[in-house]
């Protein structure tokens, strides 16, 4: 029982993150988006997780170390 509780406590943050992602994909869409944009949201999430190099021209801070982003470029 203690082992199961320990595993549950370790996995809880990942479950919460998964629920948060699912909610943002499934939540009601704001205008001007229609309900078919849910598939595009899931596709965008997939691209962001697997093909981050596609976003570098749009978000150049993705190519830098986080410390450089916080301290500013020198």
Distance CA 59, CA 72 (A): 15
User: pLDDT (tens digit, 9 = 90+) per residue, 34-68?
Assistant: 767 778 888 888 888 899 888 889 988 888 888 88
Tokens encoding 63: 């190519």
At residue 29, does pLDDT exceed 60?
Answer: yes
pLDDT-derived band at 74, boundaries 50, 70, 90 = low
Residue 73, φ and ψ in degrees, nearest 5: -75, 145
- Give me the residue spans of the domains in the chain: 2-71
* Spatial contact of 49 and 62, defined as CB atoms under 8 Å apart: no
Distance CA 55, CA 27 (A): 25
């Amino acid at each position: 029982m203690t082992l199961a509780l320990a595993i549950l406590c370790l996995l809880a943050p990942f479950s919460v993150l998964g629920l948060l992602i699912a909610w943002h994909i499934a939540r009601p869409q704001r205008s001007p988006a229609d309900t078919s944009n849910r598939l595009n949201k899931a596709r965008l999430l997939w691209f962001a997780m697997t093909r981050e190099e596609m976003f570098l021209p749009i978000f150049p801070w993705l190519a830098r170390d986080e410390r450089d982003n916080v301290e500013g470029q020198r």
